[in-house]
Amino acid sequence: MATAAANPQFLTVGEAAALLNVNEQTIRRWIDAESIPYMELPDGSYRIPQGALVASLRGNYDLAAELHELDERNVGLTDEQVQATALADK
């Protein structure tokens, strides 16, 4: 799938807002409305996959295919590994 890169870029709310030249509150409203793809981290912050964000704005984002590809790629990860990665992003 074109929107899922081998090493996807995950943006903070501020980075996504800067990329799209909109206010951070706009990004948060889109997250609340589930208009854009996002991940909520254990600490309550969000990460937005850059490729999926752009694709969702173009109208050609396929969430089911993205999730399937992520599942296949990360099948061996444990919860502890995911949490360790999230903490390393801080």
Full pLDDT tens readout for the chain, 90 residues: 344 445 679 999 999 999 999 999 999 999 999 888 899 999 999 999 998 888 887 776 666 676 677 778 778 878 788 777 766 765
| Residue 44 in domain | yes
* Number of domains making up the chain: 1
| Residue 5 in domain | no
Instruction: Give me the residue label for tokens 């490729």.
Output: 51
pLDDT score, position 35: 86
| Residue 56 in domain | yes
Alpha carbon distance 53, 67 (integer Å): 14
pLDDT score, position 63: 63
| Residue 4 in domain | no
**Structure pTM?**
0.59
Q: What is the DSSP letter of 78?
A: -
| Residue 75 in domain | yes
Domain enclosing residue 57, as ranges: 10-88
- Distances, alpha carbon 56 to alpha carbons 18, 34, 41, 88, in Å: 17, 11, 21, 27
| Residue 1 in domain | no
| Residue 2 in domain | no
| Residue 34 in domain | yes
